[in-house]
Amino acid sequence: MESEMGLLWEVALPEFLLVTVVLGGGGAWMIGRSTALTWNGWGLMTFYVLLLTAAVRFIHFSLFGGSFFLPPATFGTALYYGMIDFVVLLGIAAAGRSYVRSRQMSRQYGILHGNHR
């Protein structure tokens, strides 16, 4: 596969959308959801997203010929695109966390949102 190397994607836009946004984004949403349901903090969610980012980078590398953190010659490129993946995944995880947390709060404290029981 010939590389197009854009600002946000390394190989091609459809590959970025499939791996980072759809596959990784689904995992990130579930990370945000699980940290909200268990009342864990943002730090733990960020750590989980960091692990997910390494997995997403590996999928880019193994299936589509993207860069990975090893060998050292590709470390800089992998770090750049890894940071982009991390920001996208962290945003999706934060959205999932906020969605679930707002539902928890409105269910628990219905008077705050006008839901009188």
Q: Locate 1 and state its tokens.
A: 């596969």
- pTM reported for the whole predicted model: 0.87
Render pLDDT for 71-103 as a digit per residue (tens, 0 to 9): 899 899 999 999 999 999 999 999 999 999 999
Question: Three-class SS of residue 9?
Answer: coil
Task: Give the pLDDT confidence of 21-74 residue by residue, as tens digits.
Answer: 999 999 999 999 999 999 999 999 999 999 999 999 999 999 999 999 888 998
Query: Looking at residue 31, what is its pLDDT?
Result: 98
Is residue 94 domain-resident? yes
Judge whether 52 lies within some domain.
Answer: yes
Flag whether 71 is in a domain: yes
User: What pLDDT is stored for residue 17 in this prediction?
Assistant: 94
Q: Per the domain annotation, does 5 fall within a domain? A: no
Q: Which residues of 48-59 are buried (b: 16+ CB within 10 A; e: fewer)?
A: bbeebbeebbeb
Q: Residue 2: what pLDDT?
A: 47
Query: Which burial class, exposed, middle or buried, applies to 74 when counting CB atoms under 10 A from its CB (0-12, 13-18, 19+)?
Result: middle
Domain of 85 in residue numbering reads as: 18-113
In the predicted model, what is the mean pLDDT of the chain?
Answer: 90
Q: Which pLDDT value is given to residue 6?
A: 78
Number of domains comprising the chain: 1
Q: Does residue 66 form part of some domain? A: yes
